Amino acid sequence: MFTGIITDVGAVRAIEHRGDTRMVIATAYDLSRVEIGASIACSGACLTVVDKGDDWFAVDVSAETLTKTNLSDWQVGSAVNLERALKIGDELGGHIVTGHVDAVGTIADITPEGDSRRFSFAAPRALAGFIAPKGSITINGTSLTVNAVTDSAEAVTFGVNIIPHTQQCTTFGTAKVGDRVNLEIDVLARYVARLKEVAA
């Protein structure tokens, strides 16, 4: 489990294609305190540490993960939002995040609003029932609050404000229109929808 509070921005150091795809990610984490087998959310996708060095760790990414996330877009040098798994007693500063990507969306627009930037995202229509104004959503591993939602027959478009601190501490500072992003809906919204479905 995670909180959606990014604690480091790493970078893809190497990509090796074999049975699965092995990615090596450079990080500022103290890796002496990270065990092999530990979970790290990498731009929202929960991945398992399979090897490590002084300033890097490696993960194996399955074909399924590549097709369901934006990890297939990563290249050597790509920036990656990182968060270590939540420990009992840690501050829950964002919201409950599982690290299971529900869909890939696209940055549709970026507009300055004072020192902040208003991001507009296009998401698959299937997520429309799970995205609500003032609700939580995880985008590339970052816990964010939805400001507005617009539905259409093809997609759902929603906006969030990214404050300067978040721009500096995540990959949103260098994001651009057209970038694909990993989306995880609020786990509470998922269970409410399921309860309604069962009760119907």
pLDDT for 108-134, tens place per residue?
999 999 999 999 999 999 999 999 999
At 191, phi and psi to the nearest 5? Answer: -75, -35
CATH of domain 8-84: 2.40.30.20
Give the whole-angstrom CA distance, residue 8 versus residue 15: 20
Mean pLDDT value across residues 12-27: 96
Ordered by start, the domain boundaries in the chain are 8-84, 103-199
- Tell me: the pLDDT tens digits for 142-200? 999 999 999 888 889 999 999 999 999 999 999 999 999 999 998 888 777 777 778 87
β-sheet with 142-145: strand ranges across: 142-145, 136-139, 180-185, 103-113, 116-124, 155-162, 148-151
| The pLDDT of residue 93 is above 90 | no
Give the whole-angstrom CA distance, residue 106 versus residue 123: 7
Bridging pattern class, strands 103-113 and 180-185 = antiparallel
Residue 179 half-sphere exposure, CB side, CA atoms within 13 Å?
A: 21
The pLDDT value recorded for residue 113 is 93
Per-position b or e across 34-44, b if 16+ CB within 10 A of its CB: beeebbbbbbb
Contact 150, 71 (CB under 8 A): no
Q: Which token pair is 125?
A: 């229509």
Q: Does domain 103-199 have CATH number 2.40.30.20?
A: yes
Which residues have CB under 8 Å from 190's CB, separation 6+? 130
The pLDDT value recorded for residue 92 is 73
Give the whole-angstrom CA distance, residue 182 versus residue 170: 14
Q: Among residues of the chain, what percentage have pLDDT more than 70?
A: 100
| The pLDDT of residue 8 is above 90 | yes
